[in-house]
Amino acid sequence: NAGVTQTPKFQVLKTGQSMTLQCAQDMNHNSMYWYRQDPGMGLRLIYYSASEGTTDKGEVPNGYNVSRLNKREFSLRLESAAPSQTSVYFCASSDQRGRNEQFFGPGTRLTVL
Amino acid sequence: GDSVTQMEGPVTLSEEAFLTINCTYTATGYPSLFWYVQYPGEGLQLLLKATKADDKGSNKGFEATYRKETTSFHLEKGSVQVSDSAVYFCALNSGGSNYKLTFGKGTLLTVNP
């Protein structure tokens, strides 16, 4: 039981490049989330998927797109990376609306030059 | 909207000292409250939670009581260890159709031997 896994762990991009961050969970959770963590800002929600087939914007969705590929997988895409997207990205999942525990992946550290 | 305010760090203590990290919140409805811990280089892990007023969450010697009258959820531990060095996040979910966890900015705790 791996919990929530994320790939890659580290990535360096040049401004304007695109990439997809992958996330998978093996806990049969309905809901999945993407957050970014910046110094002094806590975690901010980018997008979430309440259930398979649905996605919704969070606090800071601009510059990102998501795909809920199936119940297990939820990917985050940066179409044209900008230095302001340098951050640590966390994927999380939960079995119900966030009143229950969210389980977090280990994170992806992204640097955009 | 929902918000969480927690004491700013960093907090530096000696081993076996008493720890308090203050957390207050603003939320609609009746939120669930959480403390998450992030060890260096890792994702967030749930430390404890409380889902209704006067509930006490506890885990690994840490405790926090849901105080509706003061809108607070302060984290305490009677005797900290070096291994407790981490960043601690207070968070809430206000329920209903809201899937989002709202986080405080985090408090860095360093415990010296």
User: Mind listing the pLDDT tens digit for each residue in A27-48?
Assistant: 999 999 999 999 878 899 999 9
Angle at A79 between CA A76 and CA A83, to 5 degrees: 95
Which residues lie closer than 8 Å to A34 by C-beta, 6 or more apart? A21, A23, A45, A46, A47, A48, A58, A64, A66, A74, A76, A89, A90, A91, A92
- β-bridge mates for residue B33, sequence order: B50, B92
According to the model, what pLDDT value does residue A40 have?
Answer: 79
Question: Is the Cα torsion angle A87, A93, A99, A100 positive or negative in sign?
Answer: negative
Looking at residues A82-89, what average pLDDT do you find? 97
Taking an 8 Å Cβ-Cβ cutoff, which residues of chain A contact chain B?
A: 4, 31, 33, 40-45, 48, 50, 56, 58-59, 90, 92, 97-99, 101-107
- β-bridge mates for residue B77, sequence order: B19, B62
What backbone phi and psi angles, to 5 degrees, belong to A83?
-55, -30
- Cβ neighbours of B21 in A, within 8 Å: none
According to the model, what pLDDT value does residue B44 have?
Answer: 93
CA B2 – CA B16 distance, rounded (Å): 35
Task: Enter the tokens of residue B111.
Answer: 């415990």
According to the model, what pLDDT value does residue B95 have?
Answer: 72
Looking at residues A65-85, what average pLDDT do you find? 96
- β-bridge mates for residue B37, sequence order: B45, B88
According to the model, what pLDDT value does residue B6 have?
Answer: 94
pLDDT over threshold 90, residue A68: yes
Q: Do A43 and B103 touch (CB under 8 A)?
A: yes
For A19, half-sphere exposure in the C-beta direction (CA atoms, 13 angstrom radius) is 22
Residues of chain B predicted below pLDDT 70: 96-98
According to the model, what pLDDT value does residue A100 have?
Answer: 72
Q: Mean pLDDT, chain A, as a whole number?
A: 92
A13-28 pLDDT, tens per residue? 999 999 999 999 999 9
According to the model, what pLDDT value does residue A60 have?
Answer: 95
**Peptide linkage before A61 cis (omega within 30 of 0):** no
